[in-house]
Amino acid sequence: MSTQKIKDEFRKAFGVTPKGIVAAPGRVNLIGEHTDYNDGFVLPIAIEQRTLAAWAPRDDGRVVFASLQQPNKCDEIDLCTAIETGQHAWGNYCRGVAAGLIENGIELAGCNILFDSNVPLNAGLSSSASLEVATGVALLAVCGSESSVKPHLLAKICQHAENTFAGAPCGIMDQSISVMGQANHALLLDCRSGQTRQIPFDAPNTVLLVVDTQVSHDIGDGGYPARRKQCEAAAEILGIPALRDATEEMIAQAVAASKISDLQMRRSRHVVTEIARTLAAADLLTFKADGYLQKFGELMYASHASLRDDFEVSCPELDTIVDLAIPRSGVFGARMTGGGFGGCAIVLVEENHAESVTQVISDGFKKQYHRRPPIFATHPAPGAMLIE
């Protein structure tokens, strides 16, 4: 995806050369799944796939959003009137971000924005977060307010846009990593306090493979909101603000007193153990003791098993990929990543085994589902930025 192409397309669409171009990446989460909305910890990386937004000012107080991925579906808002949801689902992400920036006191200026993205859509790689963040950074660049919104607030505005304008009750992880990602680093984010730590994720001779089940994933669908509600209900029964505050003993006591259902027990157990795994994983990557990648891989498997059995957000295609990866030499670990119910799995593998492992997963998946899943290698990429 080249900046030349978006410049050419911008000229075709709007008759002028764009004044600036910004980029915002998608993400994969290394570990810490379904913990963000429970006030827990997550450990994602930004990926090389990203959304570009080229912009140029216009002087009639209107903002026009166009996307190369959504031909003939331009969206347009008038900055003098209240911003509401519009007729194009994709445009609502942009509308929500514009509304959020205004609510936070930013005086937006009229502009044309054209998006181009190579983040696969509906693959659980946060294409929507990258669109929101690209929108936010572009709108701020247009009015020269790049530094007036702190990274955490920008992530919150984008999350709020997705919750309210797009109707998807996501947590704060995807937008945070799209804003704050750093090359060669994973981001340890405390989703309660907003505190972050950049953790090197740069082991030599290792590769992170992303395997796309192409089973479509939409977090507005029933499964994700239902998990959120189950977690909130469990926290209420346990008498705590969020499952972040739960312990395994607390859950065991609630089970013994028949206060909590089996389902709520398993949902809570996933969150408690997943938060512990995430913190342990961050320590392993920080201290790099002997065999740390093997141990990190074991945490990945344990995370997958917990998401499959306790949280029940995996699917047969994701399980197949993890089962194919586990016994291969050179593989450290594998797990589903993102919200689940489809989307992608990640496999951490030694570089010199990456090709054979890719082949085994591709063949094994094809045998079962009669198609090959797209597989690509990824590295931690930088977060959102002005690129021109």
Whole-angstrom CA distances from 177 to 117, 133, 164, 187, 345 are 17, 10, 20, 7, 18
Q: Which of 39, 75, 174, 310 is an active site residue?
A: 174
Give 56 or 227: the residue with its C-beta nearer to ligand GLA: 227
Give 46 or 173: the residue with its C-beta nearer to ligand GLA: 173
At its nearest, how many Å lie between ligand GLA and the CB of residue 297?
Answer: 19
At its nearest, how many Å lie between ligand GLA and the CB of residue 33?
Answer: 4
Q: What's the rounded Cα separation, in Å, for the pair 170 and 163?
A: 6
Q: What's the rounded Cα separation, in Å, for the pair 223 and 226?
A: 5
Give 24 or 111: the residue with its C-beta nearer to ligand GLA: 24
At its nearest, how many Å lie between ligand GLA and the CB of residue 128?
Answer: 8
Short-list 172, 167, 174, 179, CA closest to 220: 167
Whole-angstrom CA distances from 224 to 170, 261, 262, 310, 369 are 8, 19, 19, 14, 25
Q: Which two tokens stand for residue 286?
A: 């920080």
What residues does 29 pair with on adjacent strands? 44
39 is catalytic: no
Residue showing tokens 């499952």: 243
At its nearest, how many Å lie between ligand GLA and the CB of residue 262?
Answer: 22
Q: What's the rounded Cα separation, in Å, for the pair 248 and 15?
A: 61
Give 45 or 170: the residue with its C-beta nearer to ligand GLA: 170
At its nearest, how many Å lie between ligand GLA and the CB of residue 99?
Answer: 20
Q: What's the rounded Cα separation, in Å, for the pair 243 and 1?
A: 41
Q: Are 178 and 26 in contact (CB under 8 A)?
A: yes
At its nearest, how many Å lie between ligand GLA and the CB of residue 360?
Answer: 27
Short-list 262, 231, 268, 178, CA closest to 37: 231
Using CB atoms within 10 A of its CB, is residue 213 exposed (0-12), middle (13-18) or buried (19+)? buried
Give 77 or 155: the residue with its C-beta nearer to ligand GLA: 155
Q: What's the rounded Cα separation, in Å, for the pair 141 and 23?
A: 12
Q: What's the rounded Cα separation, in Å, for the pair 281 and 197?
A: 13
Contact residues: ligand GLA, CB under 6 A: 29, 33-34, 36-37, 170-171, 173-174, 219, 338-339
Give 6 or 30: the residue with its C-beta nearer to ligand GLA: 30
Catalytic residues: 174
